[in-house]
Amino acid sequence: MMQSTPYTLHCRSSECAARRGEVRTRHGIFQTPVFMPVGTQATVKAVTPENLVEMQAQIILGNTYHLFLRPGHVLIENFGGLHNFMNWQGPILTDSGGFQIFSLKNLAKITEAGAAFRSHIDGSKLFLSPEDAIHVQQSLGSDIMMCLDTCIPYPADRVEAQRSTELTSRWARRCREAHSKREQLLFGIVQGGMFPDMRCASAEALLDIGFDGYAIGGLSVGESKELMHEMTEATVPCLPQEYPIYLMGVGTPADLVEGVWRGIDMFDCVMPTRNARNGTLFTSQGRLVIKNSQYRDDPRPVDENCSCYTCRNYSRAYLRHLFTCREILSYQLNTIHNLHYYIHLMVGIRQAIEEDRFGQFRKDFYSRQGDQ
């Protein structure tokens, strides 16, 4: 059962599956391909919404599991939803919490009914069904909601992968049936482990239900880059091209380039923010580890080709000083730079697709910095 689509295709690459489009939400339109900064607990770590606006972020993420635990979806709903609560007026996507529950391992038990788990905060017993996941996200008021899914560990044998994938499909149908606020978009999540035929069967089951967009889950869970790209390439053709396609939790700058090459529209990852806090900065020439002694008296910006607030105003020497002294400002300035790099990498990708030169863009990317 096909839904009306929020996606508009503008153009395609003549060299690969890359495409340029846009997605309509009730809090505005975002251009694709897009990178979405991760704001798990109603904040993108170390930066303000104003910082995000300045760096031209279009859409950010929140997480159902974490916001369900604290401060609670009812409290957020009483504040008029997540947009008002965190003072971000652009589109928001909320992940269902399936990956977080998966990562709890011994603290969670997955059954047909849903996920029983213990809070990682205080150990209290909690339960989240597919219907609960939708109810919580509707209370949060996100623009794009995700179905609750079961993430498959790597490696997993075919029997385990099939059992989990079929449960994800049954949960997806329950999520769609619980979805009452249709102004909020709902995406289904393809699983299937590392088995291409199973991923296509998962996609087919989701298409039978009908969603506003489709995500590829269960990748970047320990498999090789080659296998991740192989699974992406096998899955995208099984999904309808009239809808947005989202590769969840991926990844490095090179992963974004390779994902776009294979037809992905949407990405998210904690890598730019987490690496910023650890002192690793992404630049047009490759990674830069700011704590290294060679930057002690370096007057240059992090990246002379970057127009972010950090690069316009601060030297490598100052950023190294902040980081080695563990000053809080280090986190903010490094994060501003890394997110700006990711967001403007996607700006360049979109322009390259529009001008039908994405193949050359990809070659130039690797010649400048190699595989990040």
Are residues 236 and 324 located together in one domain of the fold?
A: no
User: What is the reported pLDDT for 173?
Assistant: 98
Are residues 329 and 222 located together in one domain of the fold?
A: no
Active site annotation includes 268: yes
**Count of domains observed in the chain:** 2
**Is 199 inside a domain boundary?**
yes
pLDDT digits (tens, 9 = 90+) for 216-250: 999 999 999 999 999 999 999 999 999 999 999 99
Taking the CA atoms of residue 319, residue 303, residue 258 and residue 2 in that order, the dihedral angle to the nearest 10 degrees is: 80
pLDDT digits (tens, 9 = 90+) for 64-95: 999 999 999 999 999 999 999 999 999 999 99
Active site annotation includes 303: no
263: left (phi over 0), alpha (psi -120 to 50) or beta: left
Q: What is the separation, in whole angstroms, between the first and last Cα of the chain?
A: 40
Residue with tokens 């990852």: 269
Give the residue with greater pLDDT, 13 vs 117: 13
- Grade residue 197 by pLDDT with cuts at 50, 70 and 90: very high
**Is 1 inside a domain boundary?**
no
In the chain, what percentage of residues exceed pLDDT 70? 99
Whether residue 1 is predicted with pLDDT greater than 70 in this model: the reply is no
pLDDT digits (tens, 9 = 90+) for 26-78: 999 999 999 999 999 999 999 999 999 999 999 999 999 999 999 999 999 99
**Listed residues 251, 269, 287: the one ending a domain:** 269
Are residues 169 and 259 located together in one domain of the fold?
A: yes
> Cα(255)–Cα(155) distance, rounded to whole angstroms?
21
3-state secondary structure the chain: CCCCCCEEEEEECCCCCCEEEEEEECCEEEEECEEECECCCCCCCCCCHHHHHHCCCCCEEEEHHHHHHCCCHHHHHHCCCHHHHHCCCCCEEEECCHHHHHHCHHHEEECCCCEEEECCCCCCEEEECHHHHHHHHHHHCCCEEECCCCCCCCCCCHHHHHHHHHHHHHHHHHHHHHCCCCCCEEEEEECCCCCHHHHHHHHHHHHHHCCCEEEECCCCCCCCHHHHHHHHHHHHHHCCCCCCEEECCECCHHHHHHHHHCCCCEEECCHHHHHHHCCEEEECCEEEECCCHHHCCCCCCCCCCCCCHHHHHCCHHHHHHHHHCCCHHHHHHHHHHHHHHHHHHHHHHHHHHHCCCHHHHHHHHHHHHCCC
User: What is the reported pLDDT for 97?
Assistant: 85
Q: Which one is catalytic: 95, 143, 255, 265?
A: 95
The two structure tokens encoding residue 35: 């990178």
User: What is the reported pLDDT for 372?
Assistant: 56
User: What is the reported pLDDT for 371?
Assistant: 55
> Cα(330)–Cα(317) distance, rounded to whole angstroms?
12
Q: Which one is catalytic: 255, 265, 268, 303?
A: 268
**Is 2 inside a domain boundary?**
no
Are residues 330 and 238 located together in one domain of the fold?
A: no
User: What is the reported pLDDT for 2?
Assistant: 62
Are residues 108 and 245 located together in one domain of the fold?
A: yes
Are residues 39 and 98 located together in one domain of the fold?
A: yes
Are residues 212 and 260 located together in one domain of the fold?
A: yes
**Is 154 inside a domain boundary?**
yes
**Is 368 inside a domain boundary?**
no
**Listed residues 204, 234, 269: the one ending a domain:** 269
Q: What is the mean pLDDT of residues 172-176?
A: 98
Are residues 257 and 290 located together in one domain of the fold?
A: no
**Listed residues 269, 304, 334: the one ending a domain:** 269
- Grade residue 140 by pLDDT with cuts at 50, 70 and 90: very high
Give residue 342's domain range.
276-363
pLDDT digits (tens, 9 = 90+) for 258-317: 999 999 999 999 999 999 999 999 999 999 999 999 999 999 999 999 999 999 999 999
> Cα(91)–Cα(23) distance, rounded to whole angstroms?
10
Are residues 28 and 134 located together in one domain of the fold?
A: yes
Q: Which residues contact 336 (CB under 8 A, 6 or more apart)?
A: 47, 51, 55, 308, 309, 310
Are residues 56 and 154 located together in one domain of the fold?
A: yes
What rounded mean pLDDT belongs to the chain?
96
**Is 371 inside a domain boundary?**
no
**Is 370 inside a domain boundary?**
no
Whether residue 370 is predicted with pLDDT greater than 80 in this model: the reply is no
Are residues 113 and 186 located together in one domain of the fold?
A: yes
**Is 76 inside a domain boundary?**
yes
Beta bridge partners of 94: 62, 145
CATH number at residue 237: 3.20.20.105
C-beta of residue 61 within 8 angstroms of C-beta of residue 266 = no
Are residues 252 and 314 located together in one domain of the fold?
A: no
